[in-house]
Amino acid sequence: MKKYLLQIVLFFIVFSGVFFFFHGNRKKDLSDSDQSAPSFAALSVQGKTMGTVWSARVFSGDLSWNEDRIRKIIQDTLDHVDRLMSTYKEDSELSRFNQWKSTEWFPVSPEMLFVLDRALEISKKSEGAFDITVGPVVNLWKFGPDKQPLAEIPSEETIQAILRKVGYQKLEIRREDPPAVRKTEPDLYVDLSAIAKGYAVDQATEALKKEKITDFMVEVGGEIRCAGQKSLSPPQKGRSPWILGIEEPRIAGSDRDVVLYRTLPLSDRSLATSGDYRNYRKIGKNRFSHLIDPRTGRPVEFLSENEKEGDKKRLGSVSVVLDSCTDADAWATAFFVLGPERGVEIADKYGIPVLFLRRIGGSEAQKIESIPSKNFSY
Ligand code: ADP
Ligand code: MG
């Protein structure tokens, strides 16, 4: 339920960002122009996929495009990715690989190979903070497909036993003849939840571009890609960047208002955000983030019984801007695990634009501290 709310809110933010832009330019570009220039279409479509919601906003000069046609292109593309990469569907390609308890090569689709390749590269560059084999630990903390309540905090012994079957180094890929993947540990379990949504967005982008649609924004569960620019309606000529919003990572009830921390003007870029402020678990007074540090087998920064919320600075969200939404999605998770100190060093090493937002103080008088990497110049 929390997850669902998160998606709805992100969905809203995306649109409020876009709407904000619209609104701000209303006098200039939307006044009479819709009637005076009927050859211009702006469409909004949305749907459900991968256990979350997606949405898109498309500008097209071709009026033969209607909502149903665009919705179907996007929905079919996203559903295809879901059929390959879901751990919730027992017959997905990924689930079949997870059920396959052998160390022999397992042939995979080119799509799967591409995502595994990106995931392994980001695992190495992030020093193991991103790890798609962390699934058993995710399930141990009850964030996986078998969502049961977490009865008690797992013991260090249990964590260590599970960690022996975790590690991206235990996964090998073969690029051709035919593309295949193998595990050196038969019980290895691969979870693409932190990268597949971004990949689905990239695939939807390709599908729209193939249809010669060049100006659009598409989003799955809050991971967004903007292509081209927002066109100003005729008779005005000209285009403007898309404006997207980053939410303040405040902890409060799930019914709290969404407050935008800031907006970003983006053209031909992806924006992915990972945060702990909506998707978390509680046992007693402890709060657990759904992002796991694969190096310790524990959720990233959680509040323990002995700490008061105001005691410490806490990372609230991480936003990454890159061309590829696949990479932005994975890096947002990686940087959340790395934290701002090591995270900024690694971001600067690879020239990645990232913004860390940290909460300071208790929920009453929370302040938000912003820590950008060098390349985050928005
Ligand atoms: P969200 O789905 O909330 O946008 P992410 O894209 O960051 O968040 O993906 C979160 C999911 O990724 C978790 O629910 C879990 O299945 C998986 N995961 C958790 N920690 C890691 C990690 N360190 N590396 C890779 N995947 C992770
Ligand atoms: Mg992610």
The pLDDT tens digits for 109-147 are 999 999 999 999 999 999 999 999 999 999 898 887 666
- What is the biggest distance separating any 2 CA atoms in the chain, rounded to whole angstroms? 70
Q: How far is it, in rounded angstroms, from Cα 95 to Cα 99?
A: 6
Distances (CA, A) of 201 to 24, 34, 131, 239, 271: 27, 29, 21, 23, 11
177 has a pLDDT exceeding 70: yes
Sign of CA dihedral 129, 135, 141, 142: positive
Ligand 1 contact, 333 CB (< 6 A)? yes
Nearest to 187 by CA among 151, 137, 142, 148: 137
Helix runs in the chain, H state only: 2-24, 33-36, 67-85, 93-99, 110-125, 135-140, 156-163, 196-210, 325-350
Ligand 1 contact, 294 CB (< 6 A)? yes
* Percent over 70 (pLDDT), the chain: 79
Question: Kind and range of the H or E element at 368?
Answer: strand 367-372
Ligand 1 contact, 329 CB (< 6 A)? yes
pLDDT at 33: 37
Classify 270 as helix, strand or coil: strand
pLDDT at 18: 38
Output 6 or 257, whichever has higher pLDDT.
Answer: 257
Burial 168-191 (b: 16+ CB within 10 A, else e): bebbebeeeeebbbbbebeebbbb
Q: How far is it, in rounded angstroms, from Cα 8 to Cα 222?
A: 9
| Amino acid occupying residue 110 | P
Nearest to 358 by CA among 332, 340, 343, 376: 340
Q: How far is the CA of 120 from the centre of ligand 1 (A)?
A: 15
Distances (CA, A) of 357 to 15, 25, 247, 269: 21, 29, 10, 20
Nearest CA to ligand 1 atom 22: 130
Lowest mean pLDDT among 275-279, 305-309, 351-355, 367-371: 305-309
99 has a pLDDT exceeding 70: yes
- Mean pLDDT over 171-183 rounds to 95
pLDDT at 314: 82
Q: How far is it, in rounded angstroms, from Cα 216 to Cα 267?
A: 10
215, 227 Cβ separation under 8 angstroms: yes
pLDDT at 304: 56
Question: Kind and range of the H or E element at 243?
Answer: strand 242-247
Ligand 1 contact, 143 CB (< 6 A)? yes
pLDDT digits (tens, 9 = 90+) for 311-370: 567 888 999 999 999 999 999 999 999 999 999 999 999 999 999 999 887 655 578 899
List of residues 6+ apart from 283 with CB closer than 8 A: 150, 151, 152, 153
Q: How far is the CA of 153 from the centre of ligand 2 (A)?
A: 24
- Mean pLDDT over 51-78 rounds to 90
180, 107 Cβ separation under 8 angstroms: yes
List of residues 6+ apart from 147 with CB closer than 8 A: none
> Which of the four pLDDT bands, split at 50, 70 and 90, describes residue 199?
very high
Give the mutation target among 191, 201, 293, 300 for probing the ligand 1 site: most ligand atoms within 8 A of CB. 191
pLDDT at 153: 86
pLDDT at 246: 94
Nearest CA to ligand 1 atom 16: 193
Q: Ligand 1, closest atom to CA 274?
A: 7
Classify 290 as helix, strand or coil: coil
174, 104 Cβ separation under 8 angstroms: no
* Two tokens, residue 121: 């590269």
* Percent over 90 (pLDDT), the chain: 61
DSSP classification of residue 154: P
> Which of the four pLDDT bands, split at 50, 70 and 90, describes residue 16?
very low
- Mean pLDDT over 209-233 rounds to 90
pLDDT at 37: 41
Lowest mean pLDDT among 189-203, 264-278, 358-372: 358-372
Compute the half-sphere exposure of residue 215: CA atoms within 13 Å on the CB side of its CA: 18
pLDDT at 237: 72
CA angle 187, 143, 317 (to 5 degrees): 120
